[in-house]
């Protein structure tokens, strides 16, 4: 069994629009259950700790309009209790983690970058042989992560995230503090964009990334595979 921290945004305001934001519920619920069902321990954390805010648009009023994983999460008292009492990212110990997973939601664009505790945690978990997963806007948490030599963690790695084209399609290009695809490219990654609103996930160097909510299941599956790989017995002589 591995121990993985799912880290959520604590940010609630979509720029100056007056609209609320937060984490995207499907991008939490789908990897949460993929990891739990695989037998792993999942710690829910957030930037500030305590109750983490979800984007209202990612939790429809009618249960029939929600993804199955979201309904499962909402009906799980233990999962909901974790969500109401998340651990602050600064209180997480990298030495006790086999992986970190970063669900998206537009809130991540404001409080994931520039957070030293998050950058250090991701950098240390990866340097220790752990797996890093992120989906949609979650890769915003990768922009400050580094390798032990100080170079960007994602430099030279195949990655993706919510794309510039998708941001433009929903009319939020000017609202964002920066464009995530552009920043990831500028850091030297090999960005692999899929078509808008289709599932796209890539895994490279123990870093797994996905493009949008439709990619949550694919990213979760690749993260589970990567965790199995790092925990497999060595066959070396």
Give the pLDDT confidence of 196-226 residue by residue, as tens digits.
999 999 999 999 999 999 999 999 999 999 9
Q: What is the largest CA-CA distance in the chain?
A: 61
User: In the structure, what pLDDT confidence band is assigned to residue 231 with cuts at 50, 70 and 90?
Assistant: confident
Average pLDDT over residues 46-67: 98
Q: What does the mean pLDDT of the chain come to?
A: 97
CB 106 within 8 A of CB 14: yes
CA distance 88 to 78: 18
Which sequence spans correspond to the domains of the chain? Answer: 3-231
State pLDDT tens for residues 147-164. 999 999 999 999 999 999
Question: For residue 236, is pLDDT > 50?
Answer: no
Is 3-231 in CATH node 3.40.50.880? yes
pLDDT of residue 232: 77
User: In the structure, what pLDDT confidence band is assigned to residue 237 with cuts at 50, 70 and 90?
Assistant: very low
pLDDT of residue 234: 56
Alpha helices in the chain (DSSP H): 25-37, 68-74, 77-84, 108-111, 116-127, 164-169, 180-186, 216-231
pTM for this model (two decimals): 0.97
């Amino acid at each position: 069994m591995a121990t993985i921290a799912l880290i959520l945004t604590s940010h609630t305001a979509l720029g100056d629009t007056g609209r609320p934001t937060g984490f995207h519920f499907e991008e939490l619920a789908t990897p949460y259950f993929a990891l739990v069902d695989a037998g792993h321990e999942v710690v829910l954390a957030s930037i500030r700790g305590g109750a983490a805010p979800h984007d209202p648009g990612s939790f429809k009023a009618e249960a029939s309009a929600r993804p199955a994983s979201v309904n499962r999460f909402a009906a799980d008292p233990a999962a909901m209790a974790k969500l109401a009492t998340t651990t602050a990212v600064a209180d997480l110990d990298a030495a006790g983690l086999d992986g970190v997973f970063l669900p998206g939601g537009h809130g991540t664009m404001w409080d994931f970058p520039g957070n030293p505790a998050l950058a250090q945690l991701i950098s240390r978990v990866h340097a220790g042989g752990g797996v890093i997963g992120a989906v949609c806007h979650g890769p915003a948490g990768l922009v400050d992560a580094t390798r032990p030599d100080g170079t960007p963690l994602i430099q030279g790695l195949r990655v993706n995230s919510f794309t510039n084209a998708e941001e433009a399609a929903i009319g939020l290009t000017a609202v964002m503090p920066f464009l995530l695809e552009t920043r990831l490219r500028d850091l030297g990654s090999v960005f692999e964009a899929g078509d808008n609103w289709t599932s796209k996930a890539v895994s490279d160097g123990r870093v797994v990334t996905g493009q949008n909510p439709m990619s949550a299941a694919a990213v979760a599956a690749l993260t589970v595979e990567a965790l199995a790989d790092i925990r497999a017995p060595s066959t070396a002589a």
